[in-house]
Amino acid sequence: MASQPTLKIRTLALLVESAVAVGALTVVSACASSPRSTSSRPVAPCAVTITPGVKARPIPSLAVPSVVDIPTSGSLYGVSISGMSTPFAAIGPAASKCTVSIGADGGSFLNIGHGPSNSISEVYVPGGAVITTGWACEYVPQVMAAAKALLGPTAECYNGQSYPYQEIVSEIATHLQDTFITTVVVPPGISDGIITSQASKVTTFAVFAVRMKSINRRPTVTSSPEISCELPFREQTVCKASIDYFAAVFLKDNGAEGSIAGSVVAAVNSKLGLGQNSVGEQADGGQR
């Protein structure tokens, strides 16, 4: 990822100060079983780069939430990490390379694909307390609002009041308290410094998810995972499946499943235009 736009570091430090003190920043699982799951699906392995002393183990199979449809061109990838109760898992193009990286600062990332402009990337924890909050603050209005509540109207994430890179940003109602989802569409040819470090030839679809809570009477970000899909238009169904899986699991982890999860996932798809050929063709300039 490219370096982020200038942030108000003091704002971010205050937002996460309490969370760090009580160890509230957590890795949000990319996989969880659900009472409304389909039958288990086989899991392709991921290569792992981790700190010494941490072990990775393959996963034979995982249950997939019923709102997720994995196309024949896609596969479920994953790995189990020692010390974590749930595995890292995501959906990506079939026969692709999957890599997981876990840094000493807590940064946890997954990538599936064949190279630039042809991959799915998932960020479980961006790394470090300030970075975690700063990541969410760029696109989730509730995090910005929390910053303003602490520091006043001058607090901000971007150097301005609107998105300067032509992104299409939409809030999604989750029907859960203090749980937020925002979708972002980055047009081709745009480098926004967060989702796309370099201008891509295709549309990039992204979803930011945030869980907040009040700690010591301060609104605090406790998790902020993100997924982005930068695949050719012909693989849009894989993008849809990967984002559906991400959203369904995040919702399940935060208390929503069944019809509620289904409605939220449908809203995410609608805002991103996934599964709608006319939108995808316009967004990608007709590339196939």
Question: pLDDT tens, 172-218?
Answer: 999 888 999 999 999 999 887 778 878 888 999 999 999 988 877 77
Question: Sign of dihedral through CA atoms 151, 17, 179, 67?
Answer: positive
Average pLDDT, the chain: 77
27 versus 241: the higher-pLDDT residue is 241
pLDDT score recorded for residue 149: 65
pLDDT at 160 over 60: no
pLDDT at 287 over 60: no
- pLDDT level of residue 280 (50, 70, 90 thresholds): very low
- pLDDT level of residue 277 (50, 70, 90 thresholds): very low
Q: Would you tell me how many other CB atoms lie within 10 Å of the CB of residue 9?
A: 10
Closest C-alpha among 231, 37, 218 to residue 115: 231
Q: What token pair was written down for 137?
A: 């603050």
Query: What is the C-alpha to C-alpha distance for residues 255 and 221, in angstroms, rounded to an integer?
Result: 17
Percent of the chain past pLDDT 90, that is, above it, reads 42
Q: 118 phi and psi, to 5 degrees?
A: -155, 60
Query: What is the C-alpha to C-alpha distance for residues 144 and 155, in angstroms, rounded to an integer?
Result: 8
DSSP 50-110: --TT--EE--SEEEEETT----TTEEEEEEEETT-SS-EEEEEETT-EEEEEE-TTS-EEE
Per-residue pLDDT tens over the stretch 56-104? 999 999 999 999 999 999 999 999 988 887 889 999 999 999 999 988 7
Burial (0-12, 13-18, 19+ Cβ within 10 Å), 24: middle
Residue range 275-281: mean pLDDT, rounded: 45
Residue 260, CB-side half-sphere exposure with 13 Å CA sphere: 12
| Bridge partners (DSSP) listed for residue 79 | 88
Q: So where are the chain's domains?
A: 9-272
Closest C-alpha among 138, 107, 133 to residue 13: 133
261's CB contacts (< 8 A; 6+ apart) are 65, 67, 247, 248, 251, 252
pLDDT score recorded for residue 14: 36
pLDDT score recorded for residue 19: 39
Q: What is the pTM of this model?
A: 0.80
Instruction: For the chain, give the longest Cα–Cα distance.
Output: 51
pLDDT score recorded for residue 83: 80
pLDDT score recorded for residue 141: 81
pLDDT at 22 over 80: no
Residue range 122-150: mean pLDDT, rounded: 72
pLDDT score recorded for residue 124: 87
Residue range 22-44: mean pLDDT, rounded: 51
Residue range 130-157: mean pLDDT, rounded: 68
39 versus 97: the higher-pLDDT residue is 97
